[in-house]
Structure 1
Amino acid sequence: MTQLQSVLNAIDTINEADINTTLVDGISHPKELLYGQHMSTCLEKYWPDANENLQIAVRAQHVKRWHLQRADFPIGKQGYLTWRKELGVFHAATAKSVMLAHGYSEEDAETTAAIIRKEQLKSNNDSQTLEDVACLVFLQHYFDAFAAKHKEEKIIRIVQLTWRKMSTQGQEVALTLTLAPHLAQLVAKALA
């Protein structure tokens, strides 16, 4: 087994302990395990030449996400942003620790952590690719459930915010996705 595969397996093992689950075809899966696998699948499909640090960052973006609960942070936008920032730091530190335990160098582990923290988002291609993959996975796998819970105005605003976070390449890939008609209509409204 390669060093990379050992790290990906270790991340999956951590995420198998997720207390939150997602139903797919009537089968319950640990939520963040499934998310990490969706992220890796998307990266492999659209960025097949991704380096190992990016491959690990994509898989670990939500590693052990349940550890920091949204309810433990203040209500409102500032509380939400603080929670998201702390999650990024936590996921990055967890991934770095796993990489070091599997023989990766301090430099590689820190590079991966910086990608997960989305440092230099618009100027670091790997950080931007992680953001693109997260946006594409949201559109492919989580957009329908999100749209079912919110008013059209909020959905359109979120799609517009998501779109602005993406690179031109990510946007081009997003336009090729096959979405349910009601979701495609919401995207079309957001981009009009």
Structure 2
Amino acid sequence: MSEISASRFKNTIKDIDAVNAQDPNQELVGGKSFAKELIYGIRMSEMLMETYPDAEECLRVAARCQHISRWSIPREDFPMDRKGYLLWRTKLKQFHGKIAGEIMLSNGYSQEEIRRVDDYLNKRRLKTDPGVQALEDVICLVFLKYYFEEFYQKHQHEESKLIGIIQKTWNKMSEKGRQKALTLSHSAAATKVLSKALADEA
């Protein structure tokens, strides 16, 4: 990454974090309270670099702003059914792409680079674009590493639902993503459900 590119990337990440730091929802990390989406963005960046250390600049930007200002469009504003959920997700992707584009433009990125990040965030050409698949891997890995345990505790009496979620997550990942997922640690109970879901998938 050139000196100019490194500077604009650093400023863009700083601006993304500044937006996500406004999240009113908080999460405890190491006994300290942080804005939920700020922590999520940092985890996305860290997982991307762990799994895909050669990720190009636009993919790094997309990973950091995957959930940018997500709280601004609450799930409750849409019908609480499958159709409402899909509409909510579509609106979020468009919203994230818009904010990311504004931040990138202010830091000197080209329209082509802005479109690239928008493609990542909207999961365009998922089956044919290795970068989009890499981002999908990272999203799944962050969920499994940081959020699955809480999800398990909430739904532990709904095993079929848990197994379905795990299998859907698994099917979204590439082989490289799956191999990384197998290295993650969980509680004994959660691991048992994970193992059962993956055995059924085999």
Name the TM-score class by shorter chain: over 0.9
CA distance in 1 between counterparts of 2:27 and 2:193 reads 24
Structure 1 residue runs of 4 or more that deviate by more than 3 Å after TM superposition: none
Aligned to 1:69: 74
CA distance in 2 between counterparts of 1:103 and 1:13 reads 18
**Match status 1:148 vs 2:153:** yes
CA distance in 2 between counterparts of 1:2 and 1:116 reads 22
Identity %: 44
TM-score (norm 1): 0.97
CA distance in 2 between counterparts of 1:159 and 1:12 reads 29
Secondary structure (helix, strand or coil) at the match of 2:191 reads helix
**Match status 1:172 vs 2:179:** yes
Deviation, structure 1 residue 96: 1.2
Counterpart code for 2:60:
Q
Aligned to 2:110: 105
Query: Number of residue pairs matched?
Result: 192
Write the mapping of 1:3-152 to structure 2, written as runs, cut at 5 A.
3-150=8-155, 151-152=158-159
CA distance in 1 between counterparts of 2:186 and 2:47 reads 15
Q: Deviations over 1:15-47 (max 9, x none)?
A: 000011111232111000000000000011111
Counterpart code for 1:12:
D
CA distance in 1 between counterparts of 2:32 and 2:161 reads 30
CA distance in 2 between counterparts of 1:182 and 1:123 reads 36
TM-score (norm 2): 0.93
Counterpart code for 1:149:
K
Q: Which runs of 5+ in 1 are unaligned?
A: none
Counterpart code for 2:79:
P
Would the aligned equivalents of 2:149 and 2:186 in 1 still touch at CA under 8 Å? no
Query: RMSD of the TM alignment (CA)?
Result: 1.0
Q: Which runs of 5+ in 2 are unaligned?
A: 1-5
Aligned to 2:3: none
CA distance in 1 between counterparts of 2:96 and 2:105 reads 14
CA distance in 2 between counterparts of 1:50 and 1:12 reads 20
Aligned to 1:158: 165
Secondary structure (helix, strand or coil) at the match of 1:99 reads helix
Counterpart code for 1:18:
D
